[in-house]
Amino acid sequence: MRRWLRRVATAVALLAPALLVYAWQTRDLLPADERATAPPLPVVLASGARFDASMLAGRPAVVYFFAPWCAVCGASAPQLRWFDALTGDSARVVLVALDYPSPAEAADWAARHGLGGPVLLGDGATAAAWRIRGYPTYYVLDRDGRIAARDFGVSTLPGLWWRTWRL
């Protein structure tokens, strides 16, 4: 019994700081519990074309905010690629570049990581509207464009799948 209690105490001692850091990092993000409608997305793609938001209608979407220089963004990119391949047309991944030196660099980052979804070019107003304070930050939108989940940091395939399959 004593060994079991020690293991529980160790687990709590390890998890509590991680949960506190996570709560602190996500404290300013847009709320997901109220299922608030998401702010508008930027309309300019890295290619120079215009983004048609109607392509998101009727299916969940992961809106992924990144910076091309962000190492954590690069580390979580394979998870997005696998998620996109796993879900096919049932969910969309939309990349929003913030803090980028040029549109070409934002597009190159996505291509280098094998991400084929649209790359939108955000700015300071986009970051403020979506409450982006660091990278990567992502929001999961439901079929009606409402915020169903949000997170900061490395995303995992199981985590992305779990947040979208029930929508």
Which pTM value belongs to this model? 0.84
**pLDDT tens digits for 28-65?**
667 776 667 889 998 899 999 999 888 888 889 999 99
Q: Is 135 helix (H, G, I), strand (E, B) or coil?
A: coil
Range of the domain at 110: 30-165
All residues at 6 or more sequence positions from 42 whose CB lies less than 8 Å from its CB, including other chains? 51, 96, 120, 121, 122, 123, 126
CATH number (domain holding residue 109): 3.40.30.10
Return d(Cα 73, Cα 155) in angstroms, integer.
9
Q: Label the pairing between strands 137-141 and 61-66.
A: antiparallel
Return d(Cα 151, Cα 119) in angstroms, integer.
19
**pLDDT tens digits for 102-150?**
999 999 999 999 998 899 999 999 999 999 999 999 999 998 889 998 8
Q: How many domains does the chain have?
A: 1
Decide if 74 is inside a domain.
yes
